[in-house]
Structure 1
Amino acid sequence: MSVSLWCEEAEDDRSLDQSQTELRAAWDPTVSGHRVIQRLLHVEERYMPSMLYITLIQRDPERREELAKWALEVCCESGCDEAVFPLSVSLMDRFLSASLSLPVSPYCLAAGCILIASKLTECDNVTADTLCAAAEYSVQPSNLREMERVILATLRWDTAAVTPQDFLPHFLASVGQRRDGDGVHSEEELLSTLRRHSDTLAAMCACDSRFLGAPPSLVAAASLNCALRGLGSKGPAQLAAMSEELAELCQTDLAVLQCYSEMIECVLRQRLRGGLQQGPTEKDEEVENERAGTPTDMREIDF
C-alpha cells in the first residue's frame, strides 16, 4: 500500500504561477488562549532594549524615528508581511541598545534588519538588491550581507523577538467572544477591520520613540483599545468591559492602558493634523473639536 505525503492545498492547474499557489495556514484557535498569552508575556521581557538606550533615544529621537519611518516605507513598497516591519524595528533597537552607537551607514543597518526579519517571517523574502535600490544604492549588496552578519553576531542569533503583532490575534480572539450581533458588520468583517486598524496603530507606535520603553503587550492592547473606540460599533458599557479585559490580558492596570490609549490617540491626531495642513483647511476647526478615533481609512495617516 503506497502512502502519498503530498499536501494538495491548491487545485491542480498548470496555468497557475508558483506565486499564486502559495497559501498561508489559517488561524488555529487551539494555539490561542491565556496559556499562549502568558508565555508571550514571559518571553517579551527578554527582547526589551536597555534603559540606558531608551534614555539616550528620548533625548534625541529624530534619527531613530527617521530610520524607523524609512523602514516602514520600504516594507510597504516591497509588499512585506505586516510582521516584518515591527520585527525589523525591534532588531534595530536591540542592536543599537547593545552597541550604543550608529554604524557608518545607518540605512545599511535598517536594511539589514529588514532583510533578517523578512527571512524569518516570509516564504519569499525581500531581496538584497531591492533593499539596496530602496537606499538609492548608497549601500552595496556586499555591505548589506556583511551588516547582516554583524547584526546576527551582536544579537547572538536570537532574532525571533516578540512584537505587538504577536499579541494582536490572541487579544482579538478574546475580544471576539464578546460580539453582539448588531447587524452592522459580520463577525469576520469586524475582526478583520479591527486587526487592520490595530496593525496600523501599532506600526505608528513603532515609529514614535515615546513608545520605545512600552512592552509589546501593552502597545498591542492600547492599539486594539483605540481601534475599538474609533470604530464606534460598541456602547460605553461594552467598551469599558473590553478595556478591563485587555488590561487583564496584558497584566497591567486599567489606568495605564487608558493612558497609553490616550497617547496613541494624541499621536494619531498629530499625524492627521499634519496631513490636513498639506491640503485644504476648510474643516480644520471641525477636525480639531472632533473626538480622536480610528478613521475608516487608515491611509489618511501620514507616516
Structure 2
Amino acid sequence: MSLHHVALRAGLDPAIVSDLRVVRNLRALEESHGSSSWISLQQDIYPRIRRTLLVWMLQVCEEQKCEEEVFPLAVHCLDSYLSIHAVETCNLQLVAAVTMLLASKMRETVPLIPWKLCVHADDSISVADILQWEVSVVSRLGWGLASAVPSDFLDPILHSLSFLEAQHLPSVRRHVHSYVALAAIDSKFSDFPPSAHACACVCAASRRLNLVDSPESLLKFLAKLLLIDLDSLLLCYSQLQKALDLALPSPFKAAACRSEVSHAPANVDRVLLTPSECQLETPPCHHRQVSATCENKMEQA
C-alpha cells in the first residue's frame, strides 16, 4: 500500500473570487498583522544568514510537495518570531523547522511530519525539540497564525483582469508563485504587505509573458482594486524587476519573454539565486553551522 497521501485541491468558487469583500477582508487581515522588523533585535543574525536559512526552507517545502502558500506563511511566522524574541544562531534552523510545521498545519490537508523535518536537518534536531519549540513559538506569536500571504490575493486579482485568457492562467500562476518565493527570501521585500507582493508579481509575470503593454497602467488598476498606495506598489514592482534581472539566468529570461506563454517555464530552483549566492544544490544547512557558512561566504566575496 502506498504511503503517499494525495490531496485534491478544491476548485475556485466564482462567487468568492469575484466578491470584493474577500479582498477587503484579506487587506484587513494583513494590516492587523503588520510587517515584522527583526534586524534591531537579533544580534547574530544577518540578512545573508536569513537568506541561507530560507533557501533551505524552500528546498524542504518543494521536496515535500507542500502547497504554494506554506513557504510564504512559514517565512512570515519566522520573521514575526524573530521580531519579538532573540534567537541564538544554534537554534535558528530549529525555529525554521517549527514554523514550517505550523504553516503546513494551517495550509495543508496533510501537514508535514516532524521526523521528516529532522531528516532534512541532517538529524541535528529531534522530534522532541520540534514539539517543545512548537508550543513556545505559537505562544509567543499569540496563536496568531492565520496570516494573509501573497497567494491569497492571486485568484481575486486574476479574476479581475479581463485581458487574461484561460490558456494563459497556468503560466501566470507558475511565474507568480516563483516570484513570491523570490520576494520572500529577499529581506528587501519585508516592508511590503502581501497584497503589494501579489500585485507586483502578477504585473511582472504579465510583462515577462508579453501579456500586457503598460505595466504602470496595470499597477494603477491593481492599486485601485486593492486600495494600496500606488507609490509603494511602484517601488515594490521596481525592486522585484531588479531582483528578477539579477536572478534569472539568461536562457530562462529568453524563454520567459517569448510569445509561446503556455510553454514558458517558471522553475523556482532556477529563479532564486545567482551563482555568487548560496547554491540550491548544496546539502541542507546544519542549524549550528548556518552562521559559520555565511561568514565564510562573505569572506570569500
- In the superposition, the TM-score normalised over structure 2's length comes to 0.79
AA of the residue aligned to 1:258: L
| Matching residue of 1:268 | 244
- Match status 1:224 vs 2:202: yes
- Match status 1:201 vs 2:186: no
| Matching residue of 2:271 | 301
| Matching residue of 2:87 | 101
- Match status 1:165 vs 2:135: no
- Is the Cα contact below 8 Å between 1:128 and 1:141 reproduced in 2? yes
| Matching residue of 1:30 | 15
| Matching residue of 1:252 | 228
27 and 138 in structure 1: CA distance in 2 versus 1, 3 angstrom threshold: same
Match of 2:129 among 109, 129, 143: 143
- Per-residue CA deviation, residues 201-242 of structure 1 (Å, 9 max, x unaligned), is 011000000001111111110111111111003334xx4442
Q: Secondary structure at the match of 2:145?
A: coil
How many Å apart are 1:29 and its aligned residue? 1.4
How many Å apart are 1:26 and its aligned residue? 0.7
How many Å apart are 1:146 and its aligned residue? 0.8
Gaps of 5+ in 2: 274-301
- Per-residue CA deviation, residues 31-80 of structure 1 (Å, 9 max, x unaligned), is 123211111111102222445x25567x9311222221111111011111
Larger Rg: 1
167 and 55 in structure 1: CA distance in 2 versus 1, 3 angstrom threshold: farther
Q: Secondary structure at the match of 1:118?
A: helix
| Matching residue of 2:67 | 81
How many Å apart are 1:249 and its aligned residue? 2.1
Aligned length: 262
Distance between the aligned counterparts of 2:209 and 2:105, measured in 1? Answer: 34
How many Å apart are 1:255 and its aligned residue? 3.8
260 and 50 in structure 1: CA distance in 2 versus 1, 3 angstrom threshold: closer
Distance between the aligned counterparts of 1:17 and 1:140, measured in 2? Answer: 22
- Is the Cα contact below 8 Å between 1:49 and 1:97 reproduced in 2? no
- Match status 1:111 vs 2:90: no
Distance between the aligned counterparts of 1:155 and 1:114, measured in 2? Answer: 14
Distance between the aligned counterparts of 1:268 and 1:44, measured in 2? Answer: 25
Distance between the aligned counterparts of 1:192 and 1:55, measured in 2? Answer: 40
Q: Secondary structure at the match of 2:228?
A: coil
| Matching residue of 1:211 | 189
- In the superposition, the TM-score normalised over structure 1's length comes to 0.78
- Is the Cα contact below 8 Å between 1:54 and 1:212 reproduced in 2? no
- Per-residue CA deviation, residues 261-282 of structure 1 (Å, 9 max, x unaligned), is 121111112112xx56xxxxxx
- Is the Cα contact below 8 Å between 1:96 and 1:102 reproduced in 2? no
| Matching residue of 1:69 | 55
| Matching residue of 1:122 | 108
Q: Flag the structure with more relative contact order, 1 or 2, with Cα contacts below 8 A and sequence separation at least 6.
A: 2
How many Å apart are 1:243 and its aligned residue? 2.2
Distance between the aligned counterparts of 2:22 and 2:189, measured in 1? Answer: 24
Distance between the aligned counterparts of 1:163 and 1:63, measured in 2? Answer: 23
AA of the residue aligned to 1:249: L
93 and 133 in structure 1: CA distance in 2 versus 1, 3 angstrom threshold: same
AA of the residue aligned to 2:235: C
AA of the residue aligned to 2:20: H
Q: Secondary structure at the match of 1:105?
A: helix
Moved runs in structure 1, 4+ residues, more than 6 A? 15-18
